[in-house]
Structure 1
Amino acid sequence: MNKLFMRASLWALFSLALSTSGCSDDSGFPDVDGQNPVLTLTSEHIESGAGHAFTITGELEDKDGIASVNLSCPDLYLDKTIDLIDIYGEPKPTYQLNYSFNLKKDEIGERFVVKVTVTDVGGRSVSRDVLVTMDGDFSAPAFTASPDKEVTVLIKQQTSFKLSFTATDDRQLDYVLINIPGVEGYADKKVDAGGQSSLTHTERFTLPNIAKSYNITLKAVDKKGNETVATSVLKVSEMPDFPKMYLADVATVEELNSDVFGVPMVISHTGAYQYRARYYNETAGTKIFFLPQKTDFAPICFGLDPDNKSKLTDDPETALPIVLDKAGVYYEIDLNVKEGTFKTRTYSVAEATDPIKYKKYGAGSANFDRWESGSEMIDFYLGWGGSPSDAGNHKFVQDARNPHLFYYPAPGDTWTLEAGQKMNFIITNYHPDGWWDHVEWRVDNSEDIEKFGYFSKKNDVNPDWEGTNRKWADGTAVGDNWAKPTVKTGGNYRFVFDAHLGRGKIVPAK
């Protein structure tokens, strides 16, 4: 009996061992159903682009347990294995795949195939391909031209407003909605863009001859549903005393809106309905207008009245330009928009003053005291940047005829800015060792720059300058505002700065 019992017990134990171990592989984890893994991808086609990331997501299942996931694309030098056993200490019956890969900014390929392979503990694997194409839409549309935040229409015998805008998209623009409550026919009017990258729309409508304000809302929508909204308040009134007036020395609406900042140029408000412009005229024959709005020559444009060229008209349809016929001089123009009068005078570059006390500029000047001790004199430069040492990376070139005028970059060099890039800088003297508050400028508004104010904490000022350090012309304080404009359109640009006028602009390079 004892021998028989022992044999039976050993056989039972052996059978139990067989039934519990199943078809165990070399990993030490038992098979459950011996089936292939299940791989369900969220999408097998992903749209991305150079400089952007793409993310592969999906759900993985396997009753035996998922051991690893591999993502491979030789053209992108991608070979990533996610080892679940190494990460979690055991295989997983389910796993949520979420893997992101950053494409290089200079990637030139148009389409790539990423192979996703899931392997279970039994060594069984399943693969799926994900197509990545470089046609992703990451940017919302933009209005490169649209009415200002506030525009004025003057009451006339027949009062009308010409609505004009240009919307663009880096891929495909779908439509623009126009909404002007209170104006008949303009509630959610839709202008189809037909999938083009740009839409320019102009139309004129009549308004009642009464003082009233209307809210304009423009919404641009691209084919992916990205949208951008521009708003404006349209005021109908008699001639107002505009708080700001601008000098435009460009010929088209496109040029009015192609700058990073500085075009058109703000001028001084000297009294009720009165303004004064100072302008350096590099070449003879420059044509200028005066505008109370920044983005268009309409609805109001002050220029010569064709019936009496000694007077001004406000009608953009008939106004003729004021022509500046003397080159290499500064013009001073006083105008009264209510009376329609103006007068001009010129003065020389030598008569103009600016806050810089250093008479020599650039290589060989050696008149800037490096240690403020007289022990070492270095060359004096201006530039733009985040510090005086950084200004050495963006040194201005001084104009050959006008020492108050500076440019960046140097002739023959290229300066490229990217769309959406936000800048952050001041104009300052170059100093190789860091922050020295000698010759510096700040701005009136960091995001919407119109003028530069001198800002020397060391009071390093030209004694002949007609201005006041750290104060605007009206006596208010110049704040410590850095220039932080956002670039609307990528391309090559040129920085022009006039130390006498305290005006600067960044415009497309020609």
Structure 2
Amino acid sequence: MKKKHLFNAALLWAFLSLTLWTTGCSDDDGYPDVDGQAPSIEMTLEHIQTANGRTFTLEGTIKDADGISTIQLQCTDLNLNKTIDLIEIYEKPLETYELSYDFKIQPDEIGEQFTVKVTVTDVGGRTVSQDVLVTLDGDFEDPVFVIAPEKGGMVTVLLREGEIPTLNMNISITDDRGLDYLLVNIEGIEGYENLKIDADGEKAFEHSFNITMPNEKKDYPMTLTAVDKTGKSTMIECTVSVTDVQDFEKMYLADVATEAELNSDVFGVPMRIDHVGEFQYQALYYCQKANTEIFFLPQKTSFSPVCYGIDPTDEAMLTDDPALAKPIVLTEANVYYKININILLKTYEMETYSLAEAVDPWPASMKYGLPTMDKWNNNSGEMMDFTFGLTSDNPTGVVSFKQDATNPHLFYNEPMSLTAGESMNFIIHNYHTDQWWNFVRWCSDTEEEPEIFGYYTGSAFKNSNYTGPTTTQDVWSKPKVTVTGTYQFWFDSHLGRAKLVRVN
């Protein structure tokens, strides 16, 4: 009996030894233990602040001397369940791995915070986990001036007889998280040198100024700075010019009623008109609706401090005072108006011309949407549909415009969703199946703030009767979207004017 007990004990010891050796090794054959320790995780951030519709990144350094087998990322509330199998990817375990995994929060996510569990397993089956807190309170956007003087522009205060020169200025600012303050600095104007105005954490902030200026011709540098609660800021530098009648470099036609409408577009509102002589401007404008009301402005973003409209004391004349100016009323629909104004004499003249009289820059034989375009421009007789639209790459990617049912010179596209902070990149070009054929092409005057779309002189198809704007510069428009929303593009091929405006 004694020998039998000794034999059984020896068998038991051999079995336990084998079991311990198997447990201390990897479940995967060929991966022996090095230190037998669990993996280590060092996440770059344990709290990630993001926002709806944005992508966040789980980053960190993972180490294990025995070899990392898998990394699992889990968050049920975000429908995140990702396993990164390093042996499958690299055909071997890794001792060090730099985790970098992107995940996009859905735009309609209603939750406010989430926990992502990061679990690492090594070849020995040992695991370690770490939680990462994800909250939707990130601040990624700088404050936006919705209504403010144009950056780098001129704010004109006109010296009027018998009146105290006053800078009337409306400021509207938004921020996705909350505004801290507005800082106003007008050099040389007492009370407005580094004037700080609290915004109290509001996401939308408005303030109106009525600033008395010295009664003398002089320019004053002005800086407006909006600062949000996280310290992000946006600055506008411009000049306040106190002067008498000024021959403005630019003038605009406004066919909207409010300053909010003046500033709700990406570009094109108000519409730039032509400076045809000293103190003289000419507007060519398509009137879609009878009794459309318009004003003329030397500044893009506000009806103040200068606004040209009908003088109520003499309706044959203009006034530049926004407090007095009445709108010029365009009574006829579906015609083009030619309006000449002289801001020195305060006079204006108007006449109309028909849609049939309006000339496009391509040959009259080419009809939009019909097979009237010589495909290879070699008189081979092979024709294709003549269309054009926006492209960000090449003519095969052109999304062709629709032509207005009433005005054949007016074109538009389907509404598009644009995101704040997004920079566009496009020209207007004909559609073609075979890359670059510059049959018709329009380029803008500037990249970031396009105002005039000139017909590219290198275009193959030309109408000698066309007198609209042209350009030799191959400028691609790159305007920046300031407010997320749905927008529609409108283009007038006769006028060479386009606008990208909000759709309600």
Q: Confirm or deny that 1:455 pairs with 2:462.
A: no
Contact persistence 2:93–2:123 (CA under 8 A): no
Q: Which residue of 1 aligns with 2:341?
A: 335
The answer on 1:507 being equivalent to 2:490 is: no
2:467 aligns with 466
CA distance, structure 1, for counterparts of residue 135 and residue 375 of structure 2: 55
How many pairs align?
472
**Secondary structure of the structure 2 residue equivalent to 1:389:** helix
Cα 1:118–1:430 change in 2 (3 A) is: closer
* Cα distance between partner residues in 2 of 1:405 and 1:67: 63
The question of whether the paired residues in 2 share the 8 Å contact of 1:60 and 1:97 is answered with: yes
Q: Which residue of 1 aligns with 2:82?
A: 79
* 2:155 is equivalent to residue 151 of structure 1: yes
Partner SS, residue 180 of structure 2: strand
Q: Which moved more, 1:47-56 or 1:447-456?
A: 47-56
Change (3 A) 1:336 1:136: same
Contact 1:300 1:315 in 2 (8 A): yes
The root-mean-square deviation of aligned C-alpha atoms, in Å, is 3.2
- The answer as to whether partners of 1:211 and 1:237 remain within 8 angstroms in 2 is yes
Q: 2:202: which partner in 1?
A: 196
SS of 2:261 mapped into structure 1:
helix
Q: What is the CA-CA distance between 1:401 and the residue it aligns to? A: 2.4
Distance 2:449 2:93 in 1: 57
Question: Which of 462, 478, 498 pairs up with 2:472?
Answer: 478
Confirm whether residue 164 of structure 1 aligns to residue 206 of structure 2: no
Which residue among 289, 303, 307 is the counterpart of 1:301?
307
* Letter of the structure 2 residue corresponding to residue 114 of structure 1: V
1:216 to 215, 219, 222: 222
Q: Which residue of 2 is the match for residue 16 of structure 1?
A: none
TM-score (norm 1): 0.83
Corresponding residue SS for 2:447? coil
Deviation of 1:69 (Å): 7.7
Whole-angstrom CA distance in 2 between matches of 1:152 and 1:487: 27
| Pairwise CA distance, 1:143 | 0.9
Once the 2 structures are TM-superposed, how far is the Cα of residue 266 of structure 1 from its aligned partner?
Answer: 1.0
- In structure 1, what residue type is equivalent to 2:272? V
Q: 1:458–1:508: structure 2 CA closer, same or farther, 3 Å change rule? A: closer
Deviation at 1:187, TM superposition (A): 2.7
Match of 1:487 in 2: 481
Q: State the match for 2:296 in structure 1.
A: 290
Q: How many angstroms apart in 2 are the aligned matches of 1:55 and 1:399?
A: 46
Does structure 1 residue 384 correspond to structure 2 residue 390? yes
Give the drift of 1:275. 0.8
Q: CA deviation at 1:161?
A: 0.4
Taking the aligned partners of 1:61 and 1:119, their CA distance within structure 2 comes to: 11
Q: Is the 8 A contact 2:251 2:297 kept in 1?
A: yes
Q: Report whether the alignment pairs 1:207 with 2:213.
A: yes
Distance 1:401 1:107 in 2: 39
Matched, 1:26 2:25: yes
The percentage of aligned residue pairs carrying the same residue is: 44
Change (3 A) 1:317 1:67: same
- What displacement does 1:45 show? 2.9
- CA-to-aligned-CA distance 1:142-164 (integer Å, 9 cap, x gap): 11111122211112330110222
- Counterpart of 2:236, as a letter, is A
**1:505 Cα offset (Å):** 1.0
SS in 2 for 1:254: helix
**1:362-381 deviation digits (Å, cap 9, x = unpaired):** 44x32211133333222222
**1:258 equivalent in structure 2:** 264
- 2:411 aligns with 406
**Mind listing any 5+ residue stretches in structure 2 that lack a counterpart?**
1-20, 27-31
- Cα distance in 2 between the residues matched to 1:174 and 1:320: 38
Q: Deviation of residue 51 (structure 1)?
A: 4.3
Structure 1 residues 46 and 286: CA distance shift in structure 2, 3 A: same
Task: Report the CA distance between 1:309 and its aligned residue.
Answer: 1.2
Stretch deviating more after TM superposition (455-464 or 241-250): 455-464
Read off the aligned partner of 1:132 and give its amino acid letter. V
Q: Matched residues in 2 for 1:403 and 1:123: separation?
A: 72
Higher mean C-alpha displacement, 122-131 vs 453-462: 122-131
5+ long unaligned stretches in structure 1: 1-21
Query: Once structures 1 and 2 are overlaid, which stretch shifts more, 397-406 or 336-345?
Result: 397-406
